Amino acid sequence: MSNTFFGSDFDELNATDPEIAKVLLDELTRLRSGIQLIASENYTSPAVLTALGSTLSNKYAEGYPGKRYYGGCEVVDVAETIGIERAKSLFGADHANLQPHSGASANIAVFGAFLQPGDTYLAMALPHGGHLTHGAGVSYSGKWFNPVHYGVAEGNEDIDYDQLRALAREHKPKMIIAGGSAIPRLIDFKAIREIADEVGAIMHVDAAHFIGLVAGKAIPSPVPYADVVSFTTHKVLRGPRSGMILCKEEHAAKIDKAVFPMMQGGPMMHVIAAKAVALKECATPEYQKYAKDVIVNAQALTAGLAAEGMRPVTGGTDTHLALLDLQGIDVSGKDAEQRAGDSGIVLNKNSIPYDPKPAAVTSGVRVGTPSLTTQGMGVPEMATIASMIGRAVKSDNPAVHAEIKAEVLDLTAKFPAYPRP
Ligand code: DSN
């Protein structure tokens, strides 16, 4: 069986390794038959998958275009140069580095460029919406550096800029990180720039979650304010699973040296080519409409879930994701994830700010609309899905979950992920 979505000859794989070929097919079936609400996932285009499945994977190319440590890089140089120029143009950035393998490794490079072990920096607390690489004790960022965490105000649940300013004045951090993985509201980049300037700190925005919305001009950009912006390329941005860094010209050499050779060796040229393809796709009017639709859908889904008794943290969302507090319906995040999963709806449990439950249980769930919007779903479908989620998470009856699963199949048949040619 041939399937172009794998970006290479599927028959060949099937003949060589039917076990792994089956995994690829099973995953495609899983995507096609369920509702994917993981806020950090999306469906890349067949063009991106084709670049990923290409012979560029074979090439060692340590260094940068025109300055490599291997011969034979003249072809892959073209892909990386095109990608860099596309990134600079799309985001209005002075400099772009497309080599980080992931968001976490992009962040290691940012630490490597600006901090020494033991240095103090400010970042959003993980239980308030931050990220593991922003100072969690189990991460290099918490083990080797000295993180001081700010959070959200208990009242409006939005970033507490007064606390951030006070902590910056008290601790004089070398760097302030903005961004995280469960922040439904826009971040005030201007305010953070002013605080960073006041204390002489580098401003680092980890834009992994929302950079696709910036690319689609649906929300304001951190690029004019930040010294450095790191991100993953596979969320709303809809590229391959990977990372990228943008920065001001004055930091370009430092960032490049921190990515290679400090943090990693040979770049993955097939992934860099796939990132270049995604950046081209992001520069189209269709993508700009997509980015706006992602937010409209997230707001519609959030309103529908609120009507089901699931309280949106901060009262709503300005972005692609929402965080829902389930205490009002007396269901844990863990149970909600399980019950939704049993009903064909994939979402994740998530701590809410000031969560009384441990991280393995949680009082909340996080939902996002990048994947559904790629499938072409809109506001009417968000209302339907909100109602399905409400029914699924409030019931522990397998028959109810089976009934919802059948409805999910009907809906996804109308809006298939990766439609068959
Ligand atoms: N793990 C990603 C997320 O789901 O938000 C962030 O790295």
> pLDDT (tens digit, 9 = 90+) per residue, 320-346?
999 999 999 999 999 999 999 999 999
The pLDDT value given to residue 2: 41
Burial of 162 (0-12, 13-18, 19+ CB in 10 A): exposed
Atom of ligand 1 lying closest to residue 104 CA: 7
Is 170 among the catalytic positions? Answer: no
Beta-strand pair 146-150/120-124: parallel
Model confidence at 420, in pLDDT bands (50, 70, 90)?
confident
pLDDT digits (tens, 9 = 90+) for 218-250: 999 999 999 999 999 999 999 999 999 999 999
pLDDT digits (tens, 9 = 90+) for 120-132: 999 999 999 999 9
For atom 6 of ligand 1, which residue has the closest CA? 181
Model confidence at 419, in pLDDT bands (50, 70, 90)?
confident
- The contacts found for 152-160 with CB under 8 angstroms, 24 or more apart, are 152/128, 152/314, 152/353, 154/353, 154/354, 156/314, 156/315, 157/313, 157/314, 157/315, 157/353, 158/185, 158/314, 159/124, 159/183, 159/185, 159/187, 159/188
Partners of 203 in the beta sheet? 176
Model confidence at 6, in pLDDT bands (50, 70, 90)?
low
Considering the candidates 232, 233, 317, 362, report the single residue annotated as catalytic.
232
The pLDDT value given to residue 73: 98
pLDDT digits (tens, 9 = 90+) for 364-389: 999 999 999 999 999 999 999 999 99
The pLDDT value given to residue 3: 47
Architecture category of domain 285-414 in CATH: Alpha-Beta Complex (3.90)
Mean pLDDT across the stretch 351-371?
A: 97
Beta-strand pair 120-124/345-346: unpaired
Q: Is the pLDDT of residue 310 over 80?
A: yes
**Any ligand 1 atom below 6 A from CB of 348:** no
For atom 3 of ligand 1, which residue has the closest CA? 40
For atom 2 of ligand 1, which residue has the closest CA? 40
Residue among 92, 358, 362, 93 nearest 228 (CA): 93
Q: Is the pLDDT of residue 1 over 60?
A: no
Considering the candidates 62, 77, 94, 194, report the single residue annotated as catalytic.
62
**Any ligand 1 atom below 6 A from CB of 103:** yes
Mean pLDDT across the stretch 161-189?
A: 98
The pLDDT value given to residue 394: 98
The pLDDT value given to residue 5: 56
The pLDDT value given to residue 100: 98
Integer CA distances (angstroms), 373 to 37, 192, 360, in order: 10, 31, 29
* Residue 318 φ then ψ, to 5°: -110, 0
Of the listed ranges 46-50, 60-64, 147-151, the one predicted with least confidence? 46-50
Burial of 387 (0-12, 13-18, 19+ CB in 10 A): middle
Q: Is the pLDDT of residue 407 over 70?
A: yes
Q: Is the pLDDT of residue 35 over 80?
A: yes
The pLDDT value given to residue 9: 77
Where are the chain's structural domains?
A: 52-282, 285-414
Q: Which of 131, 134, 244, 337 to mutate to test the pocket of ligand 1 (most atoms within 8 A of CB)?
A: 131
Mean pLDDT across the stretch 85-106?
A: 98
pLDDT digits (tens, 9 = 90+) for 257-285: 999 999 999 999 999 999 999 999 999 99
Mean pLDDT across the stretch 36-63?
A: 96
Is 86 among the catalytic positions? Answer: no
The pLDDT value given to residue 320: 98
Mean pLDDT across the stretch 80-104?
A: 98
Architecture category of domain 52-282 in CATH: 3-Layer(aba) Sandwich (3.40)
In the reported structure, the alpha carbon of residue 97 is separated from the centroid of ligand 1 by a whole-number distance in angstroms of: 21
